[in-house]
């Protein structure tokens, strides 16, 4: 401990002066006064306040000395050594991956890391603090902040994002922000090892705080469903990563109903494969286990049932060029009898020509709008133009010759290919299903002779497959551009319980999957799409590692820092004020 303003100790002269004044004050001699009246008054005062009478002879002296001494100390500003934080610039890299949700001592690991950061914040002495989230794409949450209230607020807002951590990129980002030689980088995680730190700055000390907590874990490594021989079967792979054998129930649910349940026993360090031979048809299935481990993020896994490679059923008088083009691409195509098959087709994609549009089943359709009356055909004389669309990607249709076209079907369609004002290829929806309209037949064009024709067929097949209600699988928080056949540009995201999570503008924003793994719904124009956020496979094999330090010159974890207490002068001055009030009361009684 020392004093910042030691010059004020010169005020000790005033204390000495007070002592001298007491030495040279006027002395009184006791005189015996036999008057009964004065004696009675003195006794009454003595009985009323005996403690003041006993102390007032010297109390004023000690009160004045104490007040002057404390006032002098307050002006001198005492400072003492206390535990501080190394570095003038401090960078915190925080791991928010799924494994940080594991429970240890009834608290998630990330809460323990947050507690460490809060304790460090309380020991700050004006240093700059930068906070980096070490997600799949590391992000700066706070930059060179000195306000402890702002830092505490940012720490409180940290949550698990279920992404897989990218320590290497986070370290490179942190090192790019170093602008002071006296910088310390702290990394809060659960399993970072020295081999994971590829540091380019050997003079920057690192302190790795690993909140190791996962000692036993049982995980669902994989789970999927598929249609086989008109039945839906499933397969799941489970692993016991602990040191003891585990017995627990394996349950598959769909829309709050249990569709499969089995008791499973897995020896320590072993895997088991569970075959589910027959499942009722549902949009999605959720597998879960209740193994009583401390890491729950890998205890659930969702599978969405969707035929990603549907068969194309050709109905009507379909031009053979369509069939040959699709078969060349390896797409299974089946020619059906239109009269007998309209009601029996329930899945796949329909390729129809020569049928009434209103008779088509409620399925994704490529419809060739062919006029039966030759007099209704329209001769095309203007150049063929196409707009940017997934259907026309890598397709140079401008060089195609089309002699005649049919009158378009009435409806709210988007024009993809046109000749002047006449639409040739259109897209839209009917009965909630995607539709591609071709307002010309292959008999009136040389398009099958162009290399763009099979490319168009492939693009159409892919587009219709993706529009059948399943958007795909996403990593937690993954962003990508998606295109839906929606009249409106607003897409609403809901969880499996029907709670609205967010909305986005499809024409200006990327689609961003929720962070928490599970099944979700995306709704646009009353059309419901399903998608699933899946846990990264690397998060299903948690590891532990001890804390360590890197590039440190000493073995001490902390150093003694000079930390002035900004409130001590206030309390000392307040005590002086109280002493002055007591002194006045004593003096008043003395008068």
Longest dimension (CA), the chain: 148
pLDDT of residue 60 exceeding 90, the answer is no
**Is residue 29 very low, low, confident or very high in pLDDT (cuts 50, 70, 90)?**
low
* Contact assessment for residue 397 and residue 412, using Cβ atoms and an 8 Å cutoff: no
Give residue 526's Cα distance to chain centre.
Answer: 28
What average pLDDT does this structure show over 230-258? 91
pLDDT at 437 over 70: yes
Q: Is the pLDDT of residue 196 over 70?
A: yes
The average pLDDT across 15-29 equals 68
For 513-545, write each residue's pLDDT tens digit.
Answer: 999 999 898 888 767 788 889 999 999 988 888
Residue 558 is predicted with a pLDDT of 45
pLDDT at position 485 over 70: no
- With bands split at pLDDT 50, 70 and 90, how would you rate the model's confidence at 442? very high
Radius of gyration (C-alpha) of the chain in whole angstroms: 41
* Greatest mean pLDDT among 1-10, 12-21, 42-51, 250-259: 250-259
Least confident of 32-41, 349-358, 576-585: 32-41
> Which residue from 363, 529, 385, 384 is spatially nearest to 436, judged by alpha carbons?
363
Predicted confidence at residue 497, as pLDDT, reads: 80
Which pLDDT score is estimated for 557? 44
For residue 352, the cross-strand partners are 315, 367
User: What's the confidence (pLDDT) of residue 556?
Assistant: 44
Strands 470-474 and 527-533, bridge-based pairing? parallel
- Please state, in angstroms and as integers, the Cα–Cα distance from residue 235 to each residue in 218, 301, 475, following that order: 17, 12, 21
pLDDT exceeds cutoff 80 at 560 = no
Q: Please, which pLDDT band fits residue 566 given cuts at 50, 70 and 90?
A: low
Residues 234 and 252: their CA atoms lie apart, in Å, by 10
Q: What is the pLDDT of residue 408?
A: 92
Is residue 33 very low, low, confident or very high in pLDDT (cuts 50, 70, 90)? low
Q: 11: pLDDT confidence band, cut at 50, 70 and 90?
A: confident
The pLDDT assigned to 571 comes to 73
> In terms of C-beta density within 10 A (0-12 exposed, 13-18 middle, 19 or more buried), how is residue 82 classed?
middle
Confidence of residue 172 (pLDDT cuts 50, 70, 90): very high
pLDDT band at 562 (very low <50, low <70, confident <90, very high): low
**DSSP category for residue 182:** S
Average pLDDT, the chain: 83
What domains can you pick out in the chain, each with its CATH number?
Answer: 2-82+567-590 (no CATH), 89-214+545-558 (3.40.50.410), 218-303 (2.60.40.10), 312-466 (3.40.50.880), 473-533 (2.60.40)
b/e burial code for range 188-206 (CB count within 10 A of at least 16 → b):
bbbbbeeeebebeeeebbb
Closest CA to 2 of 109, 82, 112, 100: 82
pLDDT at 559: 47
The number of helix segments (H) and strand segments (E) in the chain equals: 10, 35
Distance (Å, rounded) from C-alpha 509 to C-alpha 456? 27
End-to-end CA distance of the chain: 43
Residues 291 and 299 sit within 8 Å (Cβ to Cβ)? yes
pLDDT-above-90 percentage for the chain: 42
Residue range 116-170, pLDDT digits in tens: 999 999 888 889 999 999 999 999 999 999 999 999 999 999 999 999 999 999 9
pLDDT, greater one: 313 or 373: 313
Distance CA 470, CA 190 (A): 35
Out of 195-199, 291-295, 306-310, 450-454, least confident range: 306-310
Whether residue 555 has pLDDT greater than 60:
no
Length of the chain: 591
| Least confident among 6-20, 251-265, 388-402, 535-549 | 6-20
Query: What sections of 24-108 are H helices per DSSP?
Result: 36-48, 50-76
Tell me the HSE value of 63 on the side-chain side, using a 13 A CA sphere: 17
Please state, in angstroms and rounded to a whole number, the distance separating the CA atoms of residues 527 and 512.
Answer: 19
Contact partners, residue 350, CB within 8 Å, separation at least 6: 312, 313, 315, 360, 361, 363, 364, 365, 366, 367
Reduced to 3 states (helix: H, G, I; strand: E, B; else coil), residue 149 is helix
Give the bridge partners for 529, in sequence order.
522
Residue 202 in this model has a pLDDT that exceeds 90: no
**pTM of the model as a whole:** 0.65
Q: Which of 273-277, 467-471, 505-509, 572-576 is predicted with the least confidence, judged by mean pLDDT?
A: 467-471
578 vs 161: which has the higher pLDDT: 161
Residue 139 pLDDT: 95
Helix axes of 568-590 and 50-76: crossing angle, nearest 10 degrees: 150
391 within 8 A of 366, measured Cβ to Cβ: no
């Amino acid at each position: 401990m020392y004093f910042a303003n030691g010059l004020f100790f010169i005020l000790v002269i005033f204390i000495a002066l007070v002592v001298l004044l007491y030495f040279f004050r006027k002395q009184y001699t006791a005189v015996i006064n036999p008057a009964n009246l004065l004696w009675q008054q003195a006794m009454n005062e003595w009985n009323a306040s005996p403690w003041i009478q006993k102390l007032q002879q010297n109390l004023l002296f000690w009160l004045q000395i104490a007040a002057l001494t404390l006032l002098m100390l307050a002006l001198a500003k005492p400072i003492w050594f206390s535990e501080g934080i190394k570095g003038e610039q401090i960078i915190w890299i925080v791991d928010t991956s799924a494994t940080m949700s594991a429970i240890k001592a009834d608290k998630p690991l990330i809460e323990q890391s947050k507690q460490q950061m809060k304790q460090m914040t309380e020991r700050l002495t004006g240093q700059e603090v930068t906070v980096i989230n070490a997600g799949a794409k590391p992000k700066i949450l706070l930059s060179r902040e000195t306000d402890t209230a702002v830092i505490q607020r940012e720490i409180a807002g940290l949550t698990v994002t279920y992404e897989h951590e990218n320590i290497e990129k986070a370290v490179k980002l942190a090192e790019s922000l170093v602008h002071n030689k006296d910088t310390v980088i702290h990394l809060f995680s659960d399993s970072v090892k020295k081999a994971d730190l590829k540091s380019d700055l050997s003079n920057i000390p690192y302190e790795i705080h690993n909140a190791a907590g996962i000692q036993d874990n049982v995980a669902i490594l994989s789970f999927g469903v598929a249609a086989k021989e008109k039945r839906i079967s499933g397969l799941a792979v489970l692993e016991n990563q602990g040191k003891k054998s585990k017995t627990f129930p394996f349950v598959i649910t769909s829309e709050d109903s249990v569709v499969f349940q089995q008791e499973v026993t897995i020896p320590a360090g072993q895997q088991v494969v569970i075959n589910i031979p027959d499942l009722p048809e549902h949009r999605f299935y959720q597998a879960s286990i209740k193994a009583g481990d401390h890491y729950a993020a890998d205890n659930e896994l969702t599978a969405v049932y969707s035929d990603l490679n549907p068969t194309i059923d050709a109905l009507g008088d379909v031009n053979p060029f369509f069939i040959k083009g699709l078969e060349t691409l390896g797409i299974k195509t089946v020619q059906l009898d239109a009269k007998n098959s309209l009601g029996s087709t329930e899945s796949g994609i329909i390729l129809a020509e020569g049928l009434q549009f209103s008779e088509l089943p409620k399925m994704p359709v490529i419809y060739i709008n062919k006029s039966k009356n030759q007099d209704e055909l329209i001769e095309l004389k203007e150049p063929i133009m196409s707009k940017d669309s997934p259907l026309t990607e890598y397709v140079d249709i401008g060089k195609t010759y089309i002699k005649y076209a049919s009158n378009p079907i009435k409806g709210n369609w988007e024009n993809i290919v046109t000749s002047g004002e006449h639409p040739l290829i259109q897209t839209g929806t009917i009965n909630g299903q995607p539709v591609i309209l071709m307002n010309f037949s292959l008999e009136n064009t040389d398009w099958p002779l162009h290399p763009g024709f099979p490319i168009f067929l492939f693009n159409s097949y892919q587009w219709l497959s993706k529009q059948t209600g399943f958007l795909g699988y996403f990593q937690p928080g993954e962003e990508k551009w998606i295109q839906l056949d929606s009249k409106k540009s607003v897409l609403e995201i809901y969880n499996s319980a029907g709670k609205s999570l967010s909305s986005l503008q499809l024409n200006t924003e990327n689609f961003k999957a929720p962070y928490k793994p599970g099944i979700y719904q995306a709704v646009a124009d009353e059309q419901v799409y399903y998608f699933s956020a899946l846990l990264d496979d690397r998060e299903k094999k948690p590891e532990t590692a001890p804390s360590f330090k890197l590039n440190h010159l000493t073995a001490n974890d902390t150093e003694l820092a000079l930390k002035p207490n900004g409130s001590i002068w206030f309390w000392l001055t307040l005590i002086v004020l109280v002493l002055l009030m007591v002194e006045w009361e004593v003096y008043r009684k003395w008068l």
